[in-house]
Structure 1
Amino acid sequence: MKKYFLIAIVLIFGFCCNTVSLASDYYKSDYAVTVEKNYEKNEINLNTTPKNVNQVKSFSIKNNNFFSNFIRNISNPFVSGILLIISIVAIIIEIFLPTYGIAGIISIISIVLFFAGNFLYGDTDIIDLILFIIGCILIAIEILVPGFGIPGIAGIILIVLGVILSMSNLYVGLLSISIASIIGFLVLITIIRKGYKSKLFNRIVLDKEIKSYSSKDNRHLLGKKGLTITPLRPSGTIEIDNKKIDALTEGEFIDKGEKVEVVNIEGFKIFVRRYYD
């Protein structure tokens, strides 16, 4: 395990060196644009003196207030990368450890600052933010309604694309997401090795001892009665004939220990309803 942390330290050092260099260029660019705000006429005049107009990325804002400085700092490639790492690590901790929502809040704040800085500073387009949001929605769908895994995979791809495209250039985006993913993976492995388990994680990656059915075997379950061994909200696990099966309701919540009946089967999805004697 120590060698993995050594690799992580080397990668982080490389990330710091690269992003500090990029941040220096970010602030000291000799193709900066001076933004002059004319508040009386409500106009903005641009005095551009770049060597290459197509490379204009940095703006020197004359009304140097706290807000503009704050946005400038959090849009720095190094700071953006750190925010991304904090967000990923915090959400992993929230899933596995009892933080009472604190780690989740830290994760949300970090990712909001990440996108806010890059968006307000002009590096992020609205489409990048939309990709990220759609990705989060797809992962939520995958968690709530276990199925083929397609929504989860598509969600991860869209989140990664949204993060990479939102940064100042492709190189910075790829470097940041790679380092953040590696650090997140190492934190995840460490938590699992310590013996912590997540109910959410177990719902996505089923335990080996749980016997699942393929779609061709599911038809014989139609009309059968069983018992819920986890709450169905609306998905969970039921037991029929001493076998554990993933199931979901048609919208209602059913508590653990309730009798249910299989009322519909759609591919891998087994729908149940509360059964009254």
Structure 2
Amino acid sequence: MSWTKFWGLLPLLAVPIWQEPGQDSAKPEAPAVDEALPPVVVVRFEGTLQEAWASMLRRAETVIQQQGAAGLLMELDTPGGQMDLMVRLGDQLMAIGEETETVAYVTRNAMSAGAYLAMACQQIWMAPGASMGSSMPIAAPGGIPIPIQDEDIREKMVSGARAQFRSFAERTGRNPAVAEAFVDNQMEVKRISLYGEERVVSGKGYEDLLQQGEQPRLLETICKRGELLALDVEQAKRVGYCNDTASSRTELLELFGWQNHPVLEIESTWSERLASTIGGFSWLLLLGALFCLVVAFNVPGLGVPELLAVALLALFLFHGYLIALAEWTEVLMVIGGLILIALEIFVFPGTLFAGIAGALLLAAGLLLSMQSFALPRNPVEMTTFRNNLLILLGLAVVAPLLAITAFRKITKTPLGRHMVVGPTQDFGGPIQQRGGMGASGEAESSKVAEGARGYCRTPLRPSGTVVVDGVPLDAMSTGGFLEAGQAIQVLRRQGGSLLVAAVPDRVAEDVAELDQNGVQSSEPETNRPNGGELGT
């Protein structure tokens, strides 16, 4: 090869070796973003349905309301999830659709509940090779899917889901027969031609046309009986469940004319990730709160169980707020219920009205913070309402049993005996360590005659310690809470303690003599018992 030819090849070596023939070395410039234009809000939902998505949609709606967004683009790739969460997310998307244009972009799969979310948007676009459908409901207690063996139960669940999908398809102007076939494998879907017009009908609708004497021409059986409907891109286009395809977000934005609009992507925050972590196990927070409340009533004065109960309830309500279930109404109902219960215990003991009203208000607040509706309006909401009600009733029974059992076990350990003190002049409780503890306490209380009188050494709430004939004994009040120093009368023995009632017009005296025997009273001089002799 001559040097002339060699020098002639040098210009070719200046071209990058990775450049393909005919490829322009200059990269295409990204479209210029005009900040003056309204933004396009983007949310990406990947994986199984998560409760954090409700919070992300709420933040997206806030941005749309405040900035007047050009539209909402939801990128979707999900195998599905819980039906009650599906309905809530669908309702949120429908509400956003009343304020701006909503577009679902199925990047890969929109199966089961994902198909429902796609239907909630005004337009559905799919990436090449994407699919949607196949929404057979399954039982998933605690988030664990299990097959439904009972045919009656399966039919009830399928009929409820079928009605939900059908009504939602009608609301969004799509073919309801296709939506039902997503859910029920007993549905057939056919594409026919009648009088030159193409239609998509159910198998029953096709048979009805034949019985009416019509002669529809069968073009395609989209879904056979015994199969759940899953649509590819071309099938989705033919049945009106896909507007068109786009290979990327950039292409989709260009097709809508949004390439110059600023894109605001809503990403999950730490609090929303926390909500997803808690997920369907938020009832454990309620169990822990009720457990701590029962412990607090058994061991008043420690403070730790009360603080834990408040913290767990606050976390439960915060979780409900993040997933768009608990609003300020539910929070105020729970706080009001707790206040009424506290008034019943500490201010108006024995009246029952405040306690019952507080318990009902607390239960109603907790129930409403677990669902997005007040009263059920459809089969899906009825199932959710029933499950939430059963959870609350179960917790109301299980939590006290667990707390009492654990309390008895803990108090037998060295640490438990150190933490749990006996009744003192400050408070009284059901766990006593003087007087009624053991055989000697039972022997002392057995010597007390019915009708004997004394006074409360500690407050009875309703249990505590009384003094009869100079001897401190365990006792329980029959008429609500009694303050220290209140005169009492023994009604009868009950196990190793006494059952007593207040004597408002008769009090004891000679407390100083009892104090000399080691029984101290916390009452001031003006409140000390006087008038009459103990035990008389």
TM-score interval, normalised by the smaller of the two chains? 0.5 to 0.7
What SS class does the counterpart of residue 236 from structure 1 fall into?
coil
User: Contact 1:83–1:114 at 8 Å: present in 2 too?
Assistant: yes
Matched, 1:43 2:271: no
Equivalent of 1:159 in 342, 346, 362: 362
Mapped to 1, the partners of 2:503 and 2:368 lie a distance apart of 38
Shift of 1:114: 0.3
User: Contact 1:232–1:256 at 8 Å: present in 2 too?
Assistant: no
Closer/same/farther in 2, CA of residues 147 and 48 from structure 1, 3 Å limit: farther
The equivalences for 1:60-139 within 5 A come to: 62-74=266-278, 76=279, 78-97=280-299, 100-139=302-341
Among all aligned residue pairs of Structure 1 and Structure 2, give the percentage whose two residues are the same amino acid.
Answer: 21
Shift of 1:55: 4.4
Matched, 1:256 2:521: yes
Shift of 1:246: 4.5
Question: Could you tell me which amino acid in structure 2 is paired with residue 43 of structure 1?
Answer: Q
Closer/same/farther in 2, CA of residues 166 and 201 from structure 1, 3 Å limit: farther
Question: Could you tell me which amino acid in structure 1 is paired with residue 342 of structure 2?
Answer: A
Equivalent of 2:343 in 141, 161, 166: 141
What SS class does the counterpart of residue 128 from structure 1 fall into?
helix
Q: Root-mean-square deviation (CA), in Å?
A: 4.9
Shift of 1:89: 1.3
Structure 1: which 5+ runs fail to align?
Answer: 1-23, 203-208, 210-225, 249-254, 262-272
Mapped to 2, the partners of 1:53 and 1:227 lie a distance apart of 59
Question: Number of aligned pairs?
Answer: 214
What SS class does the counterpart of residue 282 from structure 2 fall into?
helix
Shift of 1:135: 1.0
Shift of 1:101: 3.1
**Higher RCO (Cα < 8 Å, 6 or more apart):** 1
Structure 2: which 5+ runs fail to align?
Answer: 1-47, 75-85, 97-116, 118-264, 372-383, 412-421, 432-444, 446-453, 462-480, 492-499, 505-519, 532-536
User: Contact 2:51–2:323 at 8 Å: present in 1 too?
Assistant: no
Equivalent of 2:458 in 210, 230, 247: 230
User: Contact 1:228–1:258 at 8 Å: present in 2 too?
Assistant: no
Equivalent of 1:56 in 91, 96, 108: 91
Greater fraction helix? 1
Shift of 1:62: 2.0
Mapped to 2, the partners of 1:131 and 1:153 lie a distance apart of 14
Shift of 1:118: 0.6
Mapped to 2, the partners of 1:134 and 1:79 lie a distance apart of 25
Closer/same/farther in 2, CA of residues 107 and 241 from structure 1, 3 Å limit: closer
Closer/same/farther in 2, CA of residues 136 and 27 from structure 1, 3 Å limit: closer
What SS class does the counterpart of residue 47 from structure 1 fall into?
strand
Mapped to 2, the partners of 1:100 and 1:241 lie a distance apart of 30
Shift of 1:194: 5.9
User: Contact 2:334–2:366 at 8 Å: present in 1 too?
Assistant: yes
Shift of 1:150: 1.5
What SS class does the counterpart of residue 179 from structure 1 fall into?
helix
Closer/same/farther in 2, CA of residues 201 and 33 from structure 1, 3 Å limit: same
Shift of 1:27: 5.2
What SS class does the counterpart of residue 402 from structure 2 fall into?
helix
Shift of 1:63: 2.0
Mapped to 1, the partners of 2:266 and 2:361 lie a distance apart of 37
